[in-house]
Amino acid sequence: MVTGGAGFIGSNFIHYWLKNHPGDFIVNLDKLTYAGNPDNLKDIENNPNYSFIKGDICDPQIVKKAMKNVDIIVHFAAESHVDRSIIDPSIFVKTNVLGTQVLLNEAIRAKVRRFHHISTDEVFGALDLDDPQRFTENTAYSPRSPYSASKAAADHLVRAYYITYKLPVTITNCADNFGPFQYPEKLISLSITNILEGKKVPIYGDGLYVRDWLYVEDHCRAIDLVIAKGKVGETYLIGADSDMANIDLVKRLLVIMGKDEKMIEYVKDRPGHDRRYAIDSTKIKNELGWKPVFDLEKALGETVAWYKNNNSWWQKLKNKSYMDYYNKQYKSN
C-alpha cells in the first residue's frame, strides 16, 4: 500500500514500482487534496496490478479496508508545503501526526512485514551557510516550522511503535525532491511553469537559502533499496550532494530555458526561513550501495522538458484557488 500515491513523490514511486516490480500489486490510498492529482496516474489506472481508494489516512475504517492483504506500507501521505503550514498549522498536525498514528495502529493489526515512513531533512533544523557540517542519522531533531515539527512528531511515533510494539519499520529522511508531476508551488516546478508563462519567478529574501536537490527517480530507487535490504528499525538519509542556493538554482533554470535574469523578482522573506540543509548520505551508500544516478544539470534539463511537454497537466492546476494562494503569498510582499 502506498499512502499519498496521487501526490508528487508518491505517483513517481508507483510508476517506478510497477515498472521494476511488475508482479506486485499496489493499493493507492489518497484523499485527493489540492496536491493529489489523479492525472498523475492516468496511464496506469487500468493496470490490473493497481487499485485506487479515495480516503483519509485519519479515518481508521478506510485505512483498515485499504490495508487488507497488504504486506508492505510506504507512507508518503502528508501536508508538505512549509509556506502553507505557516498559514494554517492545524491541518499539518492532523494529517502528518494523527494520520501517521492511525496507519501505525492498523499496521500492527494487519501484521505487515514492513512499514516504511517517508520523512524530510527539515526535521533537523537549519545549518549556517559557513557551517561545514551535514545532517546525519545521529543529528538531533530541531524542527523550526509547523511542517517540520509535524514530520518530526511522525518520525518519533514510527520509532516508538518499533520499540513498543515491535512493528517492523524503516525511515528515510530525504532532501528536496524535484521532477515530473510536482505541484507548481515548490521552487523548481513554480519557477519552470512561471517562466513558461512569461511570469517572473519570486525569490524569498536574498535567495541565499541552500538546499540539496534530489531527483525524484533517485529517491524512488533509494526507497526500493531500503525496503529490500534496509535493517528494520533503522533510518537512512537520502541526499544528492547537489547543494545549491535558491537564487543560483533559478539562474541555472533560466539558462536552460534561454531566459535572462530579468525574470527574477525578489519578495519579502517568509517567517523562520531555514538557511541551509545538507545531507550526508554515507550510511545508505556504504550499507546498501545506493548513489544518485542523475547529476543535477541532466535532471534539471529533463524536468524542464517534461513541463514543456505537459502544458495541459500544470496549466489546469493554476486555477483560481491556486492564484488566490499565490497572490496572497507573493504579491502581498
What is the percent of the chain where pLDDT is above 70?
A: 99
Residue 318 is assigned to a structural domain of this protein = no
pLDDT in tens, 82-110: 889 899 999 999 999 999 999 999 999 99
Residue at 222 is within a domain: yes
Give me the pLDDT at residue 80, please.
86
Residue 243 a catalytic site member: no
List, in sequence order, every residue forming a beta bridge with 308; answer none if it has no partner.
none
* pLDDT digits 0-9 by tens, 124-168: 999 999 999 999 999 999 999 999 999 999 999 999 999 999 999
Mean pLDDT of 302-311: 98
The percent helix, strand, coil of the chain (3-state, each to 5) is 45, 15, 35
For the stretch 14-27, pLDDT in tens is 999 999 999 999 99
What's residue 332's pLDDT? 56
pLDDT at 64: 98
**Amino acid of residue 92:** F
- State how far the Cα of 90 lies from the Cα of 109, in Å rounded to an integer: 28
Residue with cell 488566490: 324
Query: What's the pLDDT at 220?
Result: 98
Residue 333 has pLDDT above 70, yes or no: no
Is 286 contained in some domain?
A: yes
pLDDT tens across 178-227, in order? Answer: 999 999 999 999 999 999 999 999 999 999 999 999 999 999 999 999 99
* Domains held by the chain: number: 1
| pLDDT-based confidence at residue 229 (cuts at 50, 70, 90) | very high
Question: Does a structural domain hold residue 267?
Answer: no
Q: Please tell me which residue in 83, 122, 155, 185 is annotated as part of the active site.
A: 122
What is the DSSP secondary-structure string of 236-285? EEE--S-EEEHHHHHHHHHHHTT--GGGEEEEPPPTT---B--B--HHHH
Q: For 220-249, what is the mean pLDDT?
A: 98
- Domain assignment present for residue 16? The answer is yes
Active site residue 212: no
Per cent of the chain over pLDDT 90 is 97
DSSP state letters, 301-333 = HHHHHHHHHTHHHHHTTSSHHHHHHHIIIIIT-
Higher-confidence residue of 85 and 8: namely 8
Does residue 249 lie within any of the structural domains? Answer: no
Q: What is the residue range of 288's domain?
A: 2-181+212-241+276-294
Question: Is residue 106 among the annotated active site residues?
Answer: no
For residue 33, being part of any structural domain is answered with yes
Q: Does a structural domain hold residue 196?
A: no
The cell numbers describing 255, all together, are: 539558462
For residue 27, give the CATH number of its domain: 3.40.50.720
Question: How much is the average pLDDT of 221-241?
Answer: 98
In the predicted model, what is the mean pLDDT of the chain? 97
| Active-site option among 121, 185, 212, 224 | 121
Q: Enumerate the β-bridge partners of residue 201.
A: 264
Give the pLDDT mean for 295-314.
97
Given 50, 147, 236, 277, the catalytic residue: 147
